[in-house]
Amino acid sequence: MGRSQVATSVFPAIVAYKPPHSLTSTFSLACFHYQLRKWSRPEVLTDFAFIHQTLKPLKLLLHHLPSPLRKSLVMTSVASKRLFSEYKHLSTDPPEGITAGPVSEDDMFVWEALIEGPEGTPFEGGVFPAELKFPRDYPLMPPTMKFTCDLWHPNVYPNGTVCISILHAPGDDPNHYELASERWSPIQSIEKILISVMSMLAEPNDESPANVDAARMWRERRADYEKRVRTEVRRGLGLE
């Protein structure tokens, strides 16, 4: 297969592959991993780099654009390259229990992720889908992350939005709950975000909760908290 054929036929299939919104078992997650690995062979992703050579002449056009537009286009290009690089890494060497990638070949700035519930926690056995949205100035600023399923947790807002230090903008915390070193920086990555969220499921931070009721239940009525989480996991698996 020629390089042009790789770009026009194989790469769209890689990025366009959409994971099911309601995987119901660890087995299903394993099947999804297999599909993603099948389409994301390292040699295919590496061949795609030749496209950047064909786009070099377009850089000359940037010098004739208004400064604000030129800056916006440059930032978007930097973000796209970074996102593609991270996708390539996650596709070829994903962390255990985590899968993530763009929702569509037309938009690298919206991703879907699947996170397995950590073993030894009430989330064990569950598979939790989430959406990540990246700003055009990524990686200078962090993405937002939102679970697209019911998830009862002190650090997840009722609408599913995740509240965790690594997703907070760089700099000092105005509320003094977290150190600047705990917040987002360009050296962080999507992989680090997803691993941090998986750890968050196992070990909530109740100092500045996003869901006050869940935090109170976790502190004062731990057995009830764990029972509710297990019930939601079973419901997500279609067992209730």
Q: What are phi and psi of 126, to 5 degrees?
A: -90, 155
Cβ neighbors of 24 (< 8 A, separation 6 or more) are 127, 236, 237, 238
Cα separation, 89 vs 104, in Å, equals 18
Catalytic hit among 108, 115, 163, 166: 163
Q: Which residue in this structure is represented by tokens 């255990």?
A: 96
Distance CA 153, CA 98 (A): 19
163 is catalytic: yes
| Rounded Cα gap, residues 226 and 142, in angstroms | 31
* Catalytic (active-site) positions: 163
